[in-house]
Structures are given as structure tokens and as C-alpha cells.
């Protein structure tokens, strides 16, 4: 009976109380793109998990005694699907980067130093970014971001340049590498 009732509702209508209630209840169960790092500098691994249905990334600070705090969530577009970390403004704190597949951007969250983050700043990528790697790809000792894009089978590379502690600057270079 439950399946028949749910089937009778229009899933495309977000104003339908049944559909909106189900989405609100289960949107946090569909976390993607987990990343672990010590975001608050306490020596314990913390987690960042993207919630595509909610449009957020949740940072879960862990206490080191097999317990964790509730996630602190940050707006990360309409469909955040992957997260990674690096020190993108050379201040010694672990920052967070999140791919938004629907927005064709990455959100960069600079760490305030206590495990919380500034509002995300966007940088353009190729279409439908869905995977992130961070490293020094050009040998200048600054973290760069590589993003695999689902549409067009391409990779976007954002090279860190003149780093400022308040906001990193990037050179965006789209490299279309066939993935076969």
C-alpha cells in the first residue's frame, strides 16, 4: 500500500507534502564525496561529506574518542558531489574544496582556524565536475586543484598563483583530456 501511494504522487512536484517530507527526511542519508582531514587542528581526523540533495557540505569534527560532533553545514551549490582539502591560501590551515556538478564550479572554503569556514567562493570548471584531486601540479609549491568533469570527459586544472591569505587567486586552465 505504501508503494502504491508513493507511486500515485508526482515526484516532479516539490510542493507535494509527501515528496517534500521524504526529501527533507532522507536528503542527509545520501552523502557523497567524503574527505578526511584535520580541519580544526586538534590532531584528530575530521570528515567533510557532500549532501547533493540538500546542496550542502557538512563538516563533522571528531573528538578522538570514537565520538564526533554534529555536522556544521555550508551552502555548496545545487548538487555538491565531491570534496577534498589543501592549504589554498598558504596560512597553514586546512581549507576545503567542493565540486558542484550542477553549477559547473568548485566552491572553495577557507578555514578560519577553528575548524569552521568562510562562505564558499566559486571558481568555474568544465561541465558537471564530479571528482577532485589536490596537489602541486606545476611545481610552484602551491596547492592546485584538478577536477574531472562528467560531461565532455574533460579535466579542469585550477593552478594556484599569487596567494593572498584573504583569497587565493587562480589561473583556470581547461584541459580536455579524453577519458576512455
Pick the closest to residue 151 from 128, 167, 174, 172 (CA basis).
128
- Give the tens place of pLDDT for each residue, 43-72: 999 989 898 888 999 998 988 888 888 889
Which set of grid coordinates corresponds to residue 147? 577536477
- Look at residue 158 in the predicted model and tell me its pLDDT: 86
The length of the chain, given as a count of residues: 180
Mean of per-residue pLDDT scores for the chain: 77
Pick the closest to residue 104 from 148, 135, 74 (CA basis).
148
Q: What does the angle CA 80 – CA 25 – CA 44 come to, to the nearest 5 degrees? A: 55
Q: Is the model's pLDDT at 170 over the cut of 90?
A: no
Rounded mean pLDDT, 105-132: 92
- Give the tens place of pLDDT for each residue, 140-169: 888 989 898 888 778 888 887 755 544 555
pTM equals 0.76
Distance CA(158)–CA(166), nearest Å, equals 18
- Contacts (Cβ under 8 Å, ≥6 apart) of 95: 85, 86, 87, 88, 89, 108, 109, 110, 111, 117
Q: What spatial distance separates the first Cα and last Cα of the chain, rounded to whole Å?
A: 45
DSSP element (H, E) containing 21: helix 17-26
Cβ burial of 2 (10 Å; 0-12, 13-18, 19+) is exposed
Which set of grid coordinates corresponds to residue 83? 570534496
Amino acid at each position: 500500500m505504501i508503494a502504491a501511494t508513493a507511486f500515485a504522487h508526482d515526484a516532479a512536484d516539490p510542493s507535494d507534502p509527501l515528496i517534500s517530507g521524504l526529501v527533507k527526511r532522507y536528503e542527509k542519508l545520501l552523502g557523497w564525496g567524503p574527505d578526511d582531514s584535520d580541519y580544526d587542528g586538534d590532531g584528530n581526523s575530521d570528515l567533510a561529506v557532500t549532501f547533493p540533495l540538500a546542496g550542502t557540505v557538512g563538516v563533522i569534527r571528531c573528538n578522538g574518542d570514537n565520538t564526533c560532533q554534529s555536522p556544521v553545514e555550508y551552502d555548496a551549490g545545487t548538487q555538491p558531489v565531491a570534496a577534498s582539502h589543501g592549504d589554498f591560501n598558504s596560512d597553514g590551515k586546512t581549507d576545503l574544496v567542493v565540486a558542484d556538478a550542477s553549477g559547473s564550479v568548485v566552491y572553495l572554503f577557507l578555514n578560519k582556524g577553528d575548524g569552521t569556514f568562510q562562505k564558499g567562493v566559486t571558481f568555474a570548471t568544465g561541465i558537471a565536475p564530479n571528482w577532485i584531486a589536490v596537489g602541486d601540479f606545476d611545481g610552484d609549491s602551491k596547492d592546485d586543484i584538478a577536477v574531472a568533469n562528467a560531461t565532455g570527459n574533460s579535466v579542469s586544472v585550477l593552478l594556484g598563483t599569487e596567494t593572498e591569505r584573504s583569497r587565493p587567486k587562480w589561473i583556470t586552465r581547461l584541459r580536455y583530456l579524453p577519458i576512455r
